[in-house]
């Protein structure tokens, strides 16, 4: 949700969300009550799917994106910049990005991933391939289940696009200049960790809010990949690739995240709470 806009729109958004999800959320809360003894919230709180601890609640979100400007953290809450695992097991069929592709004399290198669920949509992945095929830049795609359809059934990929079913994202992010993503939390934080600008194509869940927040604080752009004109997508790519001020801002955020020792600190916080309860 935008934090600088009309709060009437916040209310409309929540009302629409509840009208669409009320039955599913009620079933979820009742299941949690049956299996874990968690109390079912009242009708006004159904959208709250997290059940808060009276001891410690942790989440990963860099301060530059967080909503601390509109609310302080309660005493039992702690924010950490990331929970990133830098050791990532490569897919068994991943043989690396061909050197001949990496050395092509074309613009910048861009990573495209719509996540494990977004990549199921052939329409979405086909449209992205088609739009980006006319760019002067190179694109590494993680195609997921759409891989066989787009590389075999529809013929070879355009020369400026290389793809695999899945790629080791941590490794690839260190190579590229820009990320086009669905805006899931993992990809969002990993891209910031390596200081990469993002174009977010939100699909569902936390992604629309991540996209809104990223654009709101000036760290990236959002776009609807189903309805945008190809020229709009290509223009946004060039805009971010040429934004030197943004690159410097992201470099600072990257350095701060990498120096934060976030994963060690969250472990220490959990151990501290556990010891206090013994």
Residues of the chain with pLDDT under 50: 1-2
For 273, counting Cβ atoms within 10 Å of its Cβ (0-12 exposed, 13-18 middle, 19+ buried), the class is: middle
Segments of the chain assigned E as strands: 57-60, 77-80, 109-113, 138-142, 161-164, 178-181, 198-200, 220-222
The predicted pLDDT at position 276 comes to 81
What is the DSSP code string of 109-176?
Answer: EEEEE-HHHHTT-HHHHHHHHHHHTTSSSEEEEE-GGGHHIIIIIT-SPPTTEEEESS--HHHHHTT-
Asked if residue 158 lies in contact with residue 179, where contact means CB atoms within 8 angstroms, the answer is no
**Nearest residue to 18 via CA among 49, 39, 40, 53:** 49
Spatial separation of the C-alpha atoms in residues 231 and 201, rounded to whole Å = 15
Spatial separation of the C-alpha atoms in residues 127 and 117, rounded to whole Å = 16
Q: Of all helices (H) and strands (E), which one includes residue 106?
A: none
The predicted pLDDT at position 258 comes to 95
The predicted pLDDT at position 210 comes to 93
The predicted pLDDT at position 94 comes to 65
6-38 pLDDT per residue, tens: 678 878 888 898 899 889 999 999 999 999 988
What φ, ψ does residue 15 adopt, rounded to 5°? Answer: -65, -40
Return the bridge partners of 229, or none: none
The predicted pLDDT at position 91 comes to 52
pTM comes to 0.88
Spatial separation of the C-alpha atoms in residues 263 and 83, rounded to whole Å = 6
Quick one: residue 155, left, alpha or beta (phi over 0 = left, psi -120 to 50 = alpha)? Answer: left
At the second CATH level, the architecture of 99-258 is: 3-Layer(aba) Sandwich (3.40)
Instruction: State CA 39 to chain mean position distance.
Output: 31
The predicted pLDDT at position 1 comes to 45
What are the residue ranges spanned by the domains of the chain? Answer: 1-51, 99-258
């Amino acid at each position: 949700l935008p934090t600088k806009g009309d709060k009437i729109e916040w209310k409309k958004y929540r009302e629409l969300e509840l009208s669409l999800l009320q039955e599913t959320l009620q079933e979820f809360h009742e299941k949690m009550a049956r299996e874990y003894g968690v109390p079912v919230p009242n009708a006004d709180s159904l959208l709250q799917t997290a059940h808060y601890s009276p001891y410690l609640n942790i989440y990963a979100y860099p301060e530059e994106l967080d909503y601390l400007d509109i609310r302080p953290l309660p005493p039992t809450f702690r924010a950490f910049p990331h929970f990133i695992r830098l050791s990532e097991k490569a897919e068994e069929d991943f043989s690396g990005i061909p050197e001949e592709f990496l050395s092509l004399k074309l613009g910048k290198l861009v990573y495209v991933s719509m996540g494990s669920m977004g990549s199921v949509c052939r329409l979405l992945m086909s449209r992205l391939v088609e739009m980006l095929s006319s760019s002067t830049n190179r694109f590494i795609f993680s195609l997921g289940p759409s891989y066989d359809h787009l590389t075999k059934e529809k013929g070879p990929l355009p020369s400026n696009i290389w793809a695999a079913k899945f790629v080791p994202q941590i490794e690839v992010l260190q190579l590229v200049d820009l990320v086009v993503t669905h805006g899931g939390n993992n990809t969002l934080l990993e891209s910031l960790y390596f200081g990469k600008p993002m174009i977010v194509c939100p699909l569902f869940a936390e992604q629309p809010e991540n996209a809104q927040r990223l654009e709101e604080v000036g760290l990236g752009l959002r776009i609807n990949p189903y309805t945008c004109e190809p020229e709009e997508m290509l223009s946004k790519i060039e805009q971010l690739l040429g934004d030197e001020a943004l690159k410097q801002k992201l470099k600072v955020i990257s350095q701060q995240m990498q120096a934060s020792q976030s994963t060690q600190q969250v472990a220490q916080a959990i151990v501290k709470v556990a010891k206090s309860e013994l």
